[in-house]
Chain A
Amino acid sequence: DVKVTQSSRYLVKRTGEKVFLECVQDMDHENMFWYRQDPGLGLRLIYFSYDVKMKEKGDIPEGYSVSREKKERFSLILESASTNQTSMYLCASSFPTSGGTGELFFGEGSRLTVL
């Protein structure tokens, strides 16, 4: 059974803290993604990676960085958390296809609250 696992379902952090959100997939997918989901805004892409050590900015990368040292793991880093980063964070992975990205497999999400 394919699986994308996010390390924490719920986190509470304080303003200015460094936050790590971890994501692991067991499907040997090349592509991995971090999305942010907010009410009324849908899903917005923060960063994605199409290979180990490769990363590309999405639509809202400000305030975030990522790390992909191994194929199965993609980490989202908030260097100095702020209250406007309170959100649901969704990790996803996929195989690349000749016609663009295929089906995305999503994790259950990490709900981050920054106080």
Chain B
Amino acid sequence: AQKVTQAQTEISVVEKEDVTLDCVYETRDTTYYLFWYKQPPSGELVFLIRRNSFDEQNEISGRYSWNFQKSTSSFNFTITASQVVDSAVYFCALTLNSGGSNYKLTFGKGTLLTVNP
């Protein structure tokens, strides 16, 4: 069975600091997909990124960047120059590409990020 671990339960930073959210996953499959979602205080989860297991290139989108390392089974998320609007719960998730399991996302427990002005 697959598992996603977000060891950081809560992180608090001051605006403009860089912050990295850790995600470690476990799976025996060689083909899988990793996701990050953001849940702001309003409650609605918002998709940030989807990455397949064959693509280890790092991704950058504005102030957001993702570092995927299969050797350490990690898919970490960095926010550069954090802003108050980045305050949210962030979830890492994993899905497999095998049979019915490809419909099921396994989520980590989430990291609450608070960015203080």
Contacts and interface: CB of A to CB of B under 8 A. Distances in A.
A101 B103 contact: yes
A4 to B, nearest CB: 9
A40 B103 contact: no
Given A99-B52, A100-B97, A101-B95, A45 B45 contact: no
Contact of B105 (A40, A96, A101, A107): A101
A63 interface: no
B42 A101 contact: no
Most buried by A among B42, B96, B97, B104: B104
B66 interface: no
Interface stretch (B11-19, B80-88, B106-114): B106-114
Contact of B103 (A35, A44, A48): A48
A12 interface: no
Interface residues of A, number: 28
Interface string A39-51: 0111111001010
Interface residues of B, number: 29
B44 to A, nearest CB: 5
A106 interface: yes
B44 A108 contact: yes
B25 interface: no
B8 interface: no
Nearest to A50: B103
Contacts of B77: none
26 contacts: A33-B103, A40-B9, A42-B107, A42-B109, A43-B93, A43-B105, A43-B107, A48-B104, A50-B103, A58-B104, A90-B45, A96-B102, A99-B33, A100-B32, A100-B95, A100-B96, A101-B33, A101-B102, A101-B105, A102-B50, A104-B45, A106-B37, A106-B44, A106-B46, A108-B42, A109-B43
